Amino acid sequence: MNTAVFYSFRRCPYCMRAHMTLKYSGQKIILREVVLNDLPAEALAVSPHATVPSLVLGENKYLDESWDIVKWALQQHDPDNWAGQDNEYLQQTEMLVETNDYSFKEDLDHYKYAERYPQHPAEYYRKRGEEFLEELNEMLETNRFLLADQISVADIAVFPFVRQFAMVDKQWFDQAPYPRLQHWLDTLLATELFQQAFSKHEIWKPGTEDIYL
């Protein structure tokens, strides 16, 4: 197989992170948009956890973690130096991703689906998630973006999750005491990169025509 195949679900923040980085790095990729609760056999064959995203690079060679896909894409081509000098930004982002993908993602899921976790009201889970929002807002005190005055891998790594958190109650988020984070989110939402990655595509089924990034 000469062209890598990317299995994705458009609204998934992990997929969005990977999709935006693949798009940015200019890789020629076959995009296969799938439905999470009805993954095709081709996607299940390369994802032992039955999740997306997954990137099939060749026979018996695939990546099924979004952060691994991000790093792979930047290794192929990094035109605006998202990884930083000597991968400085990439290393700093590793720590952010650890917080984002575990504690913040758990708080986000509890907040977004609070009816599934009736032990506490939604506001309780939101307050827990705000600890990460406060950290990000503080990081934006000295730079336009999280690590510099231009977009880096750190912004793309956490942006889809902050977006999802904000969308749970957009009215609340817009008046919350995080002005720098609100501006940062609006800036990223307006980028062509996000608009392209969030474009709707036909759900892939075997036999349908390939869509190329």
- Say which residue the tokens 């790093």 belong to: 71
Q: Average pLDDT of 162-175?
A: 98
Q: Average pLDDT of 173-184?
A: 98
| Least confident among 45-49, 113-117, 175-179, 198-202 | 45-49
Residue 17 buriedness (CB in 10 A; 0-12 / 13-18 / 19+): buried
pLDDT digits (tens, 9 = 90+) for 190-199: 999 999 999 9
Residue 33 has pLDDT above 70, yes or no: yes
Cα angle at 17 between 11 and 22, to 5 degrees? Answer: 115
* Amino acid present at 134: E
pLDDT digits (tens, 9 = 90+) for 84-120: 999 999 999 999 999 999 999 999 999 999 999 999 9
Of 212, 202, 193, 206, give the one whose Cα is nearest residue 3: 212
Of 67, 187, 180, give the one whose Cα is nearest residue 133: 180
Alpha-carbon gap, residue 59 to 117, rounded angstroms: 41
From residue 144, alpha-carbon distances to 40, 54, 155 in Å are: 41, 31, 11
Q: Global pTM?
A: 0.95
* Residues 4-79+198-212, CATH architecture: 3-Layer(aba) Sandwich (3.40)
Residue 73 buriedness (CB in 10 A; 0-12 / 13-18 / 19+): buried
pLDDT of residue 1: 52
Count of CB atoms within 10 A of residue 201's CB?
11
Domain ranges of the chain: 4-79+198-212, 85-194
**HEC secondary structure over the chain:** CCCEEEEECCCCHHHHHHHHHHHHHCCCEEEEECCHHHCCHHHHCCCCCCCCCEEEEECCEEECCHHHHHHHHHHHCCCCCCCCHHHHHHHHHHHHHHHHHHHHHHHHHHHHCHHHCCCCCHHHHHHHHHHHHHHHHHHCCCCCCCCCCCCCHHHHHHHHHHHHHHHHCHHHHHHCCCHHHHHHHHHHHCCHHHHHHCCCCCCCCCCCCCEEC
pLDDT digits (tens, 9 = 90+) for 120-164: 999 999 999 999 999 999 999 999 999 999 999 999 999 999 999
pLDDT of residue 49: 78
3.40.50.620, 2.60.40.3140, 1.20.1050.10, 3.30.420.40: CATH of 85-194: 1.20.1050.10
